[in-house]
């Protein structure tokens, strides 16, 4: 249920109303916009007397929300959310996140070199997988905690905030210096993991599931927020369709404007996993920016041919440098 308050509602009266609603067992999300305050009521709203609420002199409108996702719903929070990643990096509400780096952290020289190159090109976050969800148990599984240590070295060397994937909540302690925790496509519906991440205050980059619907992605984000962590960034990374012969996945670019309509959360696009081919990454990255994405996550490797994972879709630092310039041009046109 949503209650939109009148412009002249005083802070005292607003607080009294919130306290009263909370006493009825409801969770109240307050969205303080420039012109209006919106109260999002979550819980058993059946008990709330809508007519009584409507009749209060500080209340403008009251409506029931039938969507199953509440806290992530734009109706509850009309303004774009801004997820703050570090002192000078944020995503959403006009802040663009350009995340780049290798699929996997391989060694100190590799990650630090790539970090320096992507930073020079204009990236504002460094990615690198350390706990790798690989289809085959015989493939490189990542450096684990050691990889996170190397990422933090690269962060020290460049100042770039770091983004890396968690697979098992038991490793959470290792993520203390990680700025954004990624939940990969294979864990989008690992609800126990999402609940635990909801108890942290770390920004979470939540990827769309391998064959996940938009609604399922929003419900997964709802799990994190319902447990207390509002710092969620959504990531479209392509979905499984009947076209899996030429491209690794099918990039659902319409997910960007659809999500923008449905939710206030920032939306970034990963054209690397979406296409699986370095030659396709640039055009899809530019299209994603044009479609309104709040950021991009792009795989970059110093030597893609010898990468331990996802070399075929990784850009060289030179190619990323060129792409970053074109991304900036599209962004300038959109402003
Ligand atoms: C990744 O970002 O390296 C990754 C494994 O992505 P996804 O979960 O989208 O497949
Ligand atoms: Mn990868």
Which ligand neighbours the alpha carbon of 164 most closely? 1
> Cβ(207) to ligand 1 under 6 A?
yes
CA distance 105 to 93: 30
Burial 301-334 (b: 16+ CB within 10 A, else e): bbebeebbbbbbbbbbbebbbebbeebeeeeeee
Q: Whose CA is nearest to atom 1 of ligand 1?
A: 103
Which ligand neighbours the alpha carbon of 130 most closely? 1
Instruction: Answer whether 41's CB lies under 8 Å from 226's CB.
Output: no
Supply the pLDDT for residue 86.
Answer: 98
Supply the pLDDT for residue 244.
Answer: 84
Instruction: Answer whether 308's CB lies under 8 Å from 106's CB.
Output: yes
Supply the pLDDT for residue 8.
Answer: 87
Q: Whose CA is nearest to atom 9 of ligand 1?
A: 185
C-alpha of residue 273 to centroid of ligand 1, in Å: 6
The distance of Cα 76 from the centroid of its chain, to the nearest Å, equals 19
Residues with CB under 5 A from ligand 2 (ion): 103, 310
Show the low-confidence residues of the chain (pLDDT under 70). Answer: none
> Cβ(237) to ligand 1 under 6 A?
yes
Q: In the numeric block, which tokens belong to residue 305?
A: 């041919």
Phi, psi of 148 (to 5 degrees): -65, -35
Supply the pLDDT for residue 33.
Answer: 84
Supply the pLDDT for residue 306.
Answer: 98
The beta-carbon contacts of 19-28 under 8 Å, at least 24 apart in sequence, are: 21/48, 24/48
> Cβ(269) to ligand 1 under 6 A?
no
C-alpha of residue 270 to centroid of ligand 1, in Å: 9
What pTM did the predictor assign? 0.96
Supply the pLDDT for residue 35.
Answer: 82
The three-class DSSP label of residue 323 is helix
* Residues near 130 by beta carbon (within 8 Å), at least 6 away in sequence: 104, 105, 142, 143, 144, 145, 146, 147, 148, 150, 151, 164, 165
Q: Whose CA is nearest to atom 3 of ligand 1?
A: 103
Ligand 1 pocket test, pick from 99, 100, 103 with the greatest ligand atom count within 8 Å of Cβ, gives: 103
* Residues near 114 by beta carbon (within 8 Å), at least 6 away in sequence: 100, 101, 102, 126, 128, 154, 300, 301, 302, 317
C-alpha of residue 204 to centroid of ligand 1, in Å: 14
Residue 144 burial by Cβ neighbours in a 10 Å radius (0-12, 13-18, 19+): middle
> Cβ(214) to ligand 1 under 6 A?
no
């Amino acid at each position: 249920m949503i209650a939109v308050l009148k412009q002249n509602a005083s802070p005292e009266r607003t607080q009294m109303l919130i306290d009263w609603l909370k006493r009825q067992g409801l969770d109240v999300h307050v969205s303080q916009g420039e012109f209006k305050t919106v109260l999002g009521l979550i819980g058993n709203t059946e008990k709330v007397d809508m007519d009584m609420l409507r009749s209060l002199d500080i209340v403008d409108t009251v409506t029931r929300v039938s969507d199953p996702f509440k806290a992530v719903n734009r109706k509850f929070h009309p303004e774009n959310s801004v997820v703050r990643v570090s002192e000078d990096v944020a995503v959403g509400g006009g802040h663009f996140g350009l995340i780049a780096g290798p699929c996997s952290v391989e060694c100190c020289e590799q990650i630090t070199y790539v970090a320096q190159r992507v930073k020079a090109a204009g990236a504002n976050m460094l990615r690198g997988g350390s706990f790798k969800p690989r289809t085959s148990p015989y493939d490189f599984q990542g450096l684990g905690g050691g990889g996170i240590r190397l990422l933090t070295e690269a962060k020290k060397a460049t100042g770039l905030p770091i983004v890396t994937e968690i697979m098992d909540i038991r490793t959470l302690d290792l993520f203390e210096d990680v700025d954004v925790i990624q939940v990969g496509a294979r864990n989008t519906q690992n609800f126990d993991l999402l609940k635990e991440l909801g108890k942290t205050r770390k920004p979470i980059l939540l990827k769309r599931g391998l064959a996940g619907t938009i609604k399922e992605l929003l419900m997964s984000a709802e799990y994190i927020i319902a447990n207390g962590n509002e710092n969620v960034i959504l990531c479209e990374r392509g979905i499984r369709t009947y076209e899996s012969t030429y491209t690794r996945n099918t990039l659902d670019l319409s997910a960007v404007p659809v999500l923008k309509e449905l939710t206030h959360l920032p939306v970034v696009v990963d054209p690397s996993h979406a296409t699986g081919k370095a030659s396709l990454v640039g055009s899809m990255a530019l299209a994603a920016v044009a479609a309104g994405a709040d950021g991009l996550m792009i795989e970059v490797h110093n030597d893609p041919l010898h990468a331990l994972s996802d070399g075929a879709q990784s850009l060289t630092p030179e190619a990323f440098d060129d792409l970053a310039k074109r991304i900036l041009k599209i962004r300038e046109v959109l402003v």
